[in-house]
Amino acid sequence: MSGAQIDSRRAACLCDVGAPNYVAAVCITDDGDEALWLVHKDELDSDNPAHGHADQPHERLGRLPLRWRERVWGDDLRCGRPRANGQPCRHRVKERGQSCAAHCDGQSCGKCRSCYLAAEASR
């Protein structure tokens, strides 16, 4: 894409989404095709601007890889109890519905420190 040209009329600053030095721009390739580029403002007038690469794993069609699915949707083997900030706890647990050690009420699992201390206190 050495002769590619950025169409500055169809470029938008990314200031409002936390990237004040970057522009989302439409580029016209040598073949006349359009490509979307992320370009640093300093590179806009360059003969060969550095730009993002469109072939990213999160942009591909089809099912997301397991690590991305877990980050987006979580899985059943997470504590899920509300944290102080209101978000669900993401600690892994061994069984569905089980609390992690930080959120155990001292009676649920019988395996964590809280349950151990509760059992010792009741003896």
Residue ranges making up the domain that contains 116 = 66-123
Give 37's strand partners. 25
Verify that 26 and 79 share a domain, yes or no.
Answer: no
For position 30, what pLDDT does the model report?
A: 83
C-alpha span between 92 and 111 (Å, rounded) = 14
Does one domain contain both 44 and 79?
no
Q: How long, in residues, is the chain? A: 123
Mark whether 42 and 75 lie in a shared domain: no
Q: Which residues pair with 39 in a beta bridge?
A: 23, 51
Distance CA 2, CA 16 (A): 30
pLDDT, position 1? 46
Query: What confidence tens digit (pLDDT) does each residue in 63-88 have?
Result: 877 777 777 776 678 888 888 898 88
Average pLDDT over every residue of 15-36 = 87
Q: Give residue 96's pLDDT band: very low, low, confident or very high (50, 70, 90).
A: confident
Q: Both 116 and 94 in a single domain?
A: yes
Indicate whether 39 and 73 sit together in one domain: no
Non-local CB neighbours of 92 within 8 Å, separated by 6+ positions: 77, 78, 79, 100
